[in-house]
Amino acid sequence: MFGNTFSLKIMLIQVKKFGDILVSRPSGKEAFLAAKSSLLRDVDVSELIDLDFDGVRVLTPSWADEFITPIKNEFRNVQLLNVTNASVKATLATLAEFSE
């Protein structure tokens, strides 16, 4: 009668909004700070963060390290979506290799 009603909040971040060619540490850090001060400002650390890479043509490890790494460090549940582009795939593989 009293079912468990669990609702997981999801924050979707369309990475393309920061550009479709994402290069350099300074611009990655700037994107993270912008996301943190607006999109992520009121998000609880337990919420699911979906980073959607649809439309991103170029992603470098330096940009990704400055943007993705602090998000993953701050939030428990981060999911990467639409990572089929070769540049995005290679960068995420590099990032994963060096973060282990």
Give domain status of residue 56, yes or no: yes
Residue 64 has a pLDDT of: 98
Nearest 5°: phi and psi at 9?
Answer: -80, 140
Give domain status of residue 45, yes or no: yes
Give domain status of residue 5, yes or no: no
Q: How many domains does the chain have?
A: 1
| Owner of token pair 């993953």 | 72
Averaged pLDDT for residues 48-70: 97
Give domain status of residue 1, yes or no: no
Q: Show the domain range for 49.
A: 10-99
- In contact, 27 and 63? CB cutoff 8 Å: yes
Give domain status of residue 3, yes or no: no
Q: Does the pLDDT of residue 98 top 70, yes or no? A: yes
pLDDT in tens, 11-35: 999 999 999 999 999 999 999 999 9
pTM of the model: 0.88
Helices (H), the chain: 25-37, 61-74, 86-99
